[in-house]
């Protein structure tokens, strides 16, 4: 039995909540020595750079008892013309799960998931970063003891991380998510519409603004990402001027005296966030990075063994 983790859209509310709680459980002492994936093999295929996600899933596989095989962007016969579908059919006869970061095209993940023998985990595609959101919610759960009712301000580009947050957070009652995005760099309209629909179902709220001054004050979490999303470039040569008002700095954090600061990393100090915020007392960004490893354990266990207790 296995399940894919290709998009949060394919997960039920129960699945999301289970994975968040399970990630928090893996962060605790009770999980030590828990090796449910003994004698199984997990592959990691990263066509784009990765520090946290790649290490999180590799270490998670090993700590859960599985073997691990790593593939770089030039390692597979895809480079000589073999199709993604045929590659998947072969790997599925040798691996129990494949964690994949594509070169951008989300259809590559779906092609790999087309076979029926191997679980596939989307470790980031151009449109969504589902495992990042699960780690982020695990971080919030561990810090606040809840997700329901939290007020989150996301500041920055409406990228794949923002998309995943928008698809995950409004599943919790009373959550408020404001996405303050630069003009021309907002969240995909289809994903925003789906997030608004989810919010209505759960008595939550999701909205987007392109004016930082319109963002609410007194939130629980201020979240940002790097301005130059991994593997992408911006056609506008003056894009930095557009992004400048969306920097997370002392002035912005002063509007949210009780808020914690989160960042999916890597951060560029002096651009998306100032050093005093990232390295300050309110920052839990590096706890967030650690939680990727705990959340990765929950994802691998759920995908391969189908547990949903």
Rounded to whole angstroms, how far apart are CA atoms 177 and 166?
8
Q: Is residue 1 part of a domain?
A: no
Mean pLDDT over all residues of the chain? 95
Domain total in the chain: 2
Q: Kindly list the distances between the CA atom of residue 307 and the CA atoms of 36, 164, 185, 205, 302, in Å, as whole numbers in the listed order.
A: 11, 22, 38, 30, 5
Question: Which residue range(s) make up the domain with 264?
Answer: 130-288
Is 168 in the same domain as 277? Answer: yes
- CATH number for the domain that contains residue 134: 3.40.50.1370
pLDDT at 11 over 60: yes
Percent of the chain with pLDDT strictly greater than 70: 98
CA 121 to each of CA 14, 263, 267: distance values in angstroms, whole numbers, following the listed order: 18, 22, 24
| 138 and 238 co-located in one domain | yes
> Using CA atoms, how far apart are residues 31 and 25, in angstroms rounded to an integer?
7
Per-residue exposure over 219-254, b if at least 16 CB sit within 10 Å of its own CB, e if not: bbbbbbbbbbbbbeebeeeebeebbeebbbeeebbe
Residues 148 and 284 in one domain: yes
Question: Per-residue b/e over 88-121, b at no fewer than 16 CB within 10 Å?
Answer: bbebbeebbbbbbbbebebebbbbbbebeebbbb
pTM: 0.96
Residue 282 lies in a domain: yes
Within a domain: 190: yes
User: Poorest-confidence range of 67-71, 236-240, 300-304?
Assistant: 236-240
Task: Please indicate, yes or no, whether residues 262 and 297 belong to a single structural domain of this protein.
Answer: no
Judge if 147 and 172 occupy the same domain: yes
Residues 57 and 197 in one domain: no
284 and 137 in one domain?
yes
Q: Is 168 exposed, middle or buried (0-12, 13-18, 19+ CB in 10 A)?
A: buried
pLDDT tens-digit profile of 95-114? Answer: 999 999 986 788 999 999 99
């Amino acid at each position: 039995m296995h399940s894919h983790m290709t998009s949060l859209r394919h997960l039920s509310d129960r699945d999301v909540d289970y994975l968040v709680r399970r990630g928090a459980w893996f962060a605790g002492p009770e999980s030590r020595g828990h090796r449910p994936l003994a004698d199984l093999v997990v592959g990691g295929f990263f066509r784009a750079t990765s520090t946290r996600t790649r290490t999180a899933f590799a270490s998670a596989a090993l700590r859960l008892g599985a073997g691990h095989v790593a593939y770089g962007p030039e390692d597979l016969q895809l480079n000589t013309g073999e199709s993604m579908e045929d590659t998947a059919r072969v790997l599925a006869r040798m691996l129990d799960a494949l964690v994949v970061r594509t070169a951008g095209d989300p259809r590559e993940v779906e092609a790999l998931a087309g076979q029926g023998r191997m679980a596939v985990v989307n470790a980031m595609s151009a449109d969504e970063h589902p495992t990042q959101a699960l780690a982020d919610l695990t971080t919030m759960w561990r810090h606040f003891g809840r997700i329901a009712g939290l007020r989150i301000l996301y500041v920055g580009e409406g990228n794949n991380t923002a998309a995943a947050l928008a698809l995950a957070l409004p599943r919790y009652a009373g959550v408020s998510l404001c996405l303050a995005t630069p003009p021309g760099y907002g969240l995909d309209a289809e994903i925003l519409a789906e997030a608004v629909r989810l919010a209505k179902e759960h008595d939550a709220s999701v909205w987007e603004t392109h004016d930082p001054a319109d963002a609410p004050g007194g939130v629980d979490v201020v979240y940002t990402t790097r301005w130059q999303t991994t593997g992408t470039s911006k056609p506008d040569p003056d894009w930095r001027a557009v992004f400048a008002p969306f920097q997370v700095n002392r002035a912005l954090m002063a509007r949210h005296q009780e808020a914690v600061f989160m960042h999916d990393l890597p951060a560029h100090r002096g651009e998306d966030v100032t050093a005093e915020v990232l390295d300050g007392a309110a920052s839990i960004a590096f706890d967030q990075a650690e939680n990727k490893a705990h959340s990765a354990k929950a994802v691998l266990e759920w995908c391969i063994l189908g547990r949903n207790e």
